[in-house]
Amino acid sequence: GAGVSQTPSNKVTEKGKYVELRCDPISGHTALYWYRQSLGQGPEFLIYFQGTGAADDSGLPNDRFFAVRPEGSVSTLKIQRTERGDSAVYLCASSRGQSGELFFGEGSRLTVL
Amino acid sequence: AQTVTQSQPEMSVQEAETVTLSCTYDTSESDYYLFWYKQPPSRQMILVIRQEAYKQQNATENRFSVNFQKAAKSFSLKISDSQLGDAAMYFCALKGGSNYKLTFGKGTLLTVNP
Q: What is the CA radius of gyration of chain A?
A: 13
Which of chain B's residues have a Cβ under 8 Å away from the Cβ of A93? Answer: 45
- Which of A91, A97, A49 minimizes the C-alpha distance to A71? A49
Q: What is the pLDDT of residue B98?
A: 74
- Inspect the interface and report whether the beta carbons of A109 and B43 lie closer than 8 Å: yes
Asked whether the predicted pLDDT for residue B111 surpasses 90, the reply is yes
For B20-59, write each residue's pLDDT tens digit: 999 999 999 889 999 999 999 889 999 999 999 999 899 9
Determine how β-strand B88-96 pairs with β-strand B32-39: antiparallel
Does a cis peptide bond (omega within 30 degrees of 0) precede residue A8?
yes
What A46-53 contacts at long range (C-beta under 8 Å, 24+ apart), as own/partner pairs, is A46/A77, A46/A90, A47/A77, A48/B100, A48/B101, A49/A75, A50/A98
Q: What is the pLDDT of residue B1?
A: 82
Which of chain B's residues have a Cβ under 8 Å away from the Cβ of A109? Answer: 43
